[in-house]
Amino acid sequence: MQKKILFVDDDRILLRLAQEKFKPYAKQFTIITAGNGLQAIEKLKRESISLVITDLQMPGMDGFGLLAHLSKNFPDIPVIILTAYGSQTSEKAALEGGANGFMEKPFVVERLAQKITEAFKKESEGGVLQTVPLEMFLQLIEMEQKTCTLRVFNKSTDSSGVLFFKNGILMDARIKDIKGLVAAYEIFSWERVMLSIQDTCVVAEKLIEEDLQAILMEAMRLKDEAGENEQPDSASEAADYESETPEPAPKAHAAPVAPDGPAEAPHTEDIQNKLRRLKAERQWLKNIDQDSRWDDLLFRLKNFGAFFNAGTLQSCYLNTGEPTDFILLPEKETLIISVDAECPRERILQLLSE
């Protein structure tokens, strides 16, 4: 998703020049403009803004007034002050007021672009996760009592929202200028999302009183009630969605494992030797196979483990709710063990990790 930068200045020539000079950075961000603080506030209501660059001296509402409004209502949006009347006093006041950077005019495009890039890097210091199940990730944040700012990008609508967590507790949510519970319900209803994690939370006051699990359940109820389940609306989007979703575990091409013989895939002989130690339970073993289509799922699970300091992923048991379950082992191509759903899963996983 392309980020949007709001450039605020009463000098129209400077605004046009900024849009022209930053064209080489079009793949990273786009510039939208406002002539003063009041116009900027209106843009913030309609647009998903990632960063604000503002002059200090402007008619209507100056840069300090805009900075105060941003600090109160959009504390997660970084602000860079750009002024022709720079002084140590004004710089100190701006930084104490919540600005993330301060530059004097005339500015060097490359230096300003560097400050913008640095601000964006802080937004994803905890990592970026593609097509991750949002509900599962939120529950992990709650369980691990993480403090973070979670930026959520809806890949179906190209919209975005922000969730604020402190010690695993949902403090607030925001979509444009919509805040609190209403914003949380909307964000939680999104299905195809990308997450950007910042390891800090700027919100000090808890503005959402409801429990996270209760909000998740209510969001799903409202979504079903309104009939707003998101579906791919074109052949290309459907293909893109399918390419991001692991296919069901392979069956047709999975070669059965002979009772006493190893599979042909690399490393499976060691697995077979370990499984032989459970001879009495061998009736639950159905197949051993390799399939790279599961690699993306294990890669995301590894990211979860790293993010929550849970250690290295060694194996993953999938309870399908069907007669056959699957054990996934990370290899160059994911190793898949098909087992009976009644198998002694704890014993197997313990054995495979030895």
- Does 237 map to a domain? no
| Whole-structure pTM value | 0.64
Examine the domain organization and report whether 220 and 275 are in the same domain.
no
Same domain, 105 and 11: yes
Overall number of domains in the chain: 3
pLDDT for the residue 329:
83
- The answer as to whether 245 is a domain residue is no
Among 226, 253, 283, where does a domain finish? 226
Predicted confidence at residue 252, as pLDDT, reads 34
| CATH number of the domain to which 307 belongs | 3.30.450
Q: Which residues contact 212 (CB under 8 A, 6 or more apart)?
A: 138, 139, 142, 169, 170
Residue 307 pLDDT: 59
259 inside domain:
no
The number of CA neighbours under 13 Å toward the Cβ of 34 is: 29
Per DSSP, the residues of 229-257 read -----SHHHHHHHHHHSPPPPP-TTPPBP
| Strand boundaries in the chain, DSSP class E | 3-8, 29-34, 51-54, 79-83, 101-104, 127-130, 148-154, 159-166, 169-175, 178-179, 193-198, 285-290, 316-318, 324-329, 335-340
Measured in Å, how far apart are the chain's first and last C-alpha atoms? 43
DSSP state of 209: -
Q: Which tokens sit at 107?
A: 């500015």
Do residues 7 and 109 both lie within one domain?
yes
Task: Give the domain CATH number at 42.
Answer: 3.40.50.2300
212 and 279 share a domain?
Answer: no
Q: Are residues 19 and 89 in the same domain?
A: yes
Q: Is 341 found in the same domain as 279?
A: yes
Residue 111 shares a structural domain with residue 163: no
Identify whether 248 is part of a domain.
no
- For the stretch 254-283, pLDDT in tens is 333 434 443 344 456 677 667 666 655 556
SS percent in the chain: helix, strand, coil, step 5: 40, 25, 35
pLDDT band at 131 (very low <50, low <70, confident <90, very high): low
Average pLDDT over residues 202-228: 84
pLDDT in tens, 325-353: 888 888 767 888 888 888 888 878 877 77
DSSP 108: P
Say if residue 73 is in the same domain as residue 160: no
Residue 263 included in any domain: no
Evaluated on CA atoms 230, 231, 232, 234, the torsion sign reads negative
Same domain (yes/no): 288, 217: no
Report pLDDT for 129: 86
Both 136 and 96 in one domain: the answer is no
Do 298 and 345 have their domain in common?
yes
Q: Per-residue pLDDT for 88 more than 90? A: no
Is 249 part of a structural domain of the chain?
no
User: The domain containing residue 84 runs over which residues?
Assistant: 3-122
- 301-333 per-position pLDDT tens digit: 776 666 566 677 778 888 887 888 888 888 767
Residue 108 and residue 180 share a domain: no
**What Cα–Cα distance (Å) separates residue 339 from each residue in 283, 324, 351?**
9, 6, 15
Q: Between 25 and 133, whose confidence is greater?
A: 25
Give helix then strand counts, H and E, for the chain: 12, 15
What's residue 133's pLDDT? 82
